[in-house]
Homo-oligomer: A and B are copies of this chain.
Amino acid sequence: MDTLLKTLADEKRREILRLVWSEELGATEIAQHFPNVTRTAISQQLSLMKRVGLLNERRAGTHRFYRAQHREVLRVQQFLNGYWSDSLQRLKELAEAIEKGEVTA
């Protein structure tokens, strides 16, 4: 779990995750979203994220398409929501608050 949380504790990686949240993208395409970082760096992040289970890889010819592994993100959310004692109560309150539009989802 530490590894997963640590991986999410980085804006760049969260941005990658959002890019491939609902559509799969190739490594080059993903890298192009980050003008200030090398393709190499992104490639390393992708393989890290794949290793911890946050990304899924599909190979097709010379391409490799990545997409988010929603289940793992949900695992982290559940973990954090449940880690501290009275969090069930707060989770329910949060869900209600979101429904009422009191906080932003």
Interface residues, chain A, with chain B CB atoms under 8 Å away? 2, 5-6, 8-11, 14, 17-18, 21-22, 68, 70, 73-74, 76-78, 80-85, 87-88, 90-92, 94-95, 98-99, 103-105
Out of B8, B70, B82, B88, which one reaches A5, CB within 8 Å?
B8
Out of B5, B11, B85, B94, which one reaches A78, CB within 8 Å?
B94
User: How far is A69 from B6 in the complex, measured between Cα atoms in Å?
Assistant: 21
Copies of this chain present: 2
**A104: B residues at CB distance < 8 A:** 82
Apart from the given pairs A5-B9, A82-B103, A92-B95, 15 other A-B contacts in the complex at a CB distance below 8 Å: A2-B11, A6-B6, A8-B80, A9-B9, A18-B83, A18-B85, A21-B84, A68-B84, A74-B90, A74-B94, A77-B77, A77-B91, A81-B81, A88-B105, A95-B95
A interface: dominant SS: helix
Whether A105 contacts B91 by the Cβ 8 Å rule is yes
